[in-house]
């Protein structure tokens, strides 16, 4: 059965336009993500490429055919760029420009007015290169579920391999060879590309929905200003961590931190300066604590830390280090505040004691403020007659 290439290209263009509209309306407008934008760009370029090839056999074939090659290569580069954006990597236009120059230049000197395969080797090589790079980026992706990542990566790998095989067959059999026409000609390629384009588009839409759910959960668990755990998320995770420590017979320490004279910063410099101070302290915490520690914004200018396995002395050393990092933070227009800390040992108590431990740390924090601020006060466990240890400057 002979495939009607013109009909397939019209169908390919119509399908690309439909996928573009659906992807733009359903995915891009909702997420405004870079990968959505680049995938939309790829669909537009593939649509333009198919339209340009429809002009083969007309008086304008001499420029339409090379232009179709250029649009196709740019579309494959956009697919690669979309894959890179999923890993938060920037576009690489320095690789696109020479590829477009090679694709256009080789087609221009290969008699494009009478040769529908003008610049064929360069075009096929560039397509195989960018689609293969797309596959490599997708295999390295860790944000998506394994099922979606594998689907996207294998589809891109297949397309890259397919174009590589087209290039080999083109060089070995020629564009008019029976084998090339039957397996890798314009008709079969258009049919294969249509199928895989649909697979990738729906996989990208599914990935977008998955990321939207992940982002929603992240916003529900994290403070929007500092990126730390919010109060409810911290308390939930801290309770679970304390239960695990109790089962293991291990201990830990809880720390409450409060930025000193924070209201004065807001009053004197505005709330933007206060936000800067909060973000600076959050960054000092996250850059200092261990991966097993929990850090959250407890409310306002108050923060809370859970340090599994750390004793009171280690916790005090950590507060000193955090304050040191904060003092060394560059802030040209703002003198960052000092910080007071209240430290309470967890002992081997479980989640049901979390409220009492926080209350003890809060009382120690109050004492740190009373003793002159910029210090840590340790709330000791039962048996201490005063209930508190003297504060140490941090």
How much is the pTM?
Answer: 0.62
Tell me: the pLDDT tens digits for 327-378? 998 787 788 999 999 999 998 788 889 999 999 999 999 999 999 999 999 9
pLDDT bucket at 1, cuts 50 / 70 / 90:
very low
The pLDDT of residue 352: 85
Distance of alpha carbon 253 from alpha carbon 309, whole angstroms: 7
Distance of alpha carbon 327 from alpha carbon 337, whole angstroms: 8
Tell me: the pLDDT tens digits for 42-91? 888 988 998 899 898 899 999 999 999 999 999 999 999 998 988 889 99
The pLDDT of residue 144: 63
Residue showing tokens 């910063």:
265
The pLDDT of residue 143: 67
Q: Are strands 339-345 and 375-379 parallel, antiparallel or unpaired?
A: parallel
Distance of alpha carbon 308 from alpha carbon 255, whole angstroms: 11
The pLDDT of residue 394: 59
Contacts for 128 with CB less than 8 Å, ≥ 6 apart: 160, 161, 163, 164, 166, 167
What residue ranges define each of the domains in the chain, with the CATH number in brackets? 5-220 (1.20.1070), 231-393 (3.30.70.270)
Tell me: the pLDDT tens digits for 364-387? 999 999 999 999 999 965 444 444
Alpha carbon 1 to chain centroid, angstroms: 46
With beta carbons less than 8 A apart as the criterion, state whether 132 and 95 touch: no
Sort residue 41 into left (φ over 0), alpha (ψ -120 to 50) or beta: alpha
Contacts for 5 with CB less than 8 Å, ≥ 6 apart: 185, 186, 187, 190
Q: How far is CA 48 from CA 42, 245, 246, in A?
A: 10, 61, 64
What is the rounded average pLDDT of the residues 99-121?
A: 95
pLDDT(199) > 50: yes
With beta carbons less than 8 A apart as the criterion, state whether 143 and 86 touch: yes
pLDDT bucket at 295, cuts 50 / 70 / 90:
very high
Q: How many CB atoms lie within 10 A of CB 238?
A: 24
């Amino acid at each position: 059965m002979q495939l009607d290439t013109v009909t397939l290209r019209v169908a390919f263009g119509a399908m690309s336009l439909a996928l573009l509209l659906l992807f733009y309306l359903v995915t891009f407008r909702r997420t405004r993500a870079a990968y959505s934008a680049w995938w939309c760009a790829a669909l537009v370029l593939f649509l333009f490429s198919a339209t340009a090839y429809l002009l083969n056999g007309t008086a304008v074939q001499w420029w339409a055919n090379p232009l179709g090659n250029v649009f196709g290569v740019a579309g494959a580069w956009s697919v690669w760029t979309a894959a890179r954006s999923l890993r938060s990597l920037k576009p690489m236009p320095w690789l696109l420009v020479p590829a477009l120059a090679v694709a256009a230049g080789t087609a221009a000197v290969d008699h494009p007015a009478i040769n529908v395969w003008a610049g064929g080797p360069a075009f096929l090589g560039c397509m195989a290169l960018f689609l293969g790079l797309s596959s490599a980026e997708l295999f390295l992706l860790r944000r998506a579920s394994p099922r979606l990542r594998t689907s996207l990566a294998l589809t891109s790998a297949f397309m890259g391999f397919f174009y590589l095989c087209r290039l080999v067959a083109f060089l070995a059999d020629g564009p008019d060879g029976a084998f090339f026409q039957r397996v890798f000609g314009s008709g079969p390629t258009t049919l294969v590309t249509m199928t895989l384009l649909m697979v990738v588009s729906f996989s990208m839409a599914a990935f977008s929905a998955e990321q939207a759910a992940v982002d929603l959960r992240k916003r529900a668990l994290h403070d929007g200003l500092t990126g730390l755990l919010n109060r409810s998320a911290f308390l939930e995770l801290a309770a679970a961590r304390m239960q695990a420590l109790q089962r293991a017979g291990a201990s830990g320490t809880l720390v409450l931190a409060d930025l000193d004279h924070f209201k004065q910063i807001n009053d004197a410099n505005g709330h933007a300066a206060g936000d800067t101070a909060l973000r600076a302290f959050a960054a000092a915490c996250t850059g200092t604590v261990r991966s097993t520690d929990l850090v959250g914004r407890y409310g306002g200018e108050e923060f809370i830390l859970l340090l599994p396995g750390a004793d009171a002395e280690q916790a005090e050393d950590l507060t000193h280090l955090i304050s040191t990092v904060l003092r060394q933070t560059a802030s040209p227009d703002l003198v960052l505040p000092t910080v007071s800390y209240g430290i309470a040992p967890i002992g081997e108590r479980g989640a049901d004691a979390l409220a009492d431990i926080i209350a003890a740390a809060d009382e120690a924090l109050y004492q740190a403020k009373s003793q002159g601020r910029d210090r840590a006060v340790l709330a000791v466990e039962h048996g201490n007659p005063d209930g508190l240890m003297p504060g140490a400057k941090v």
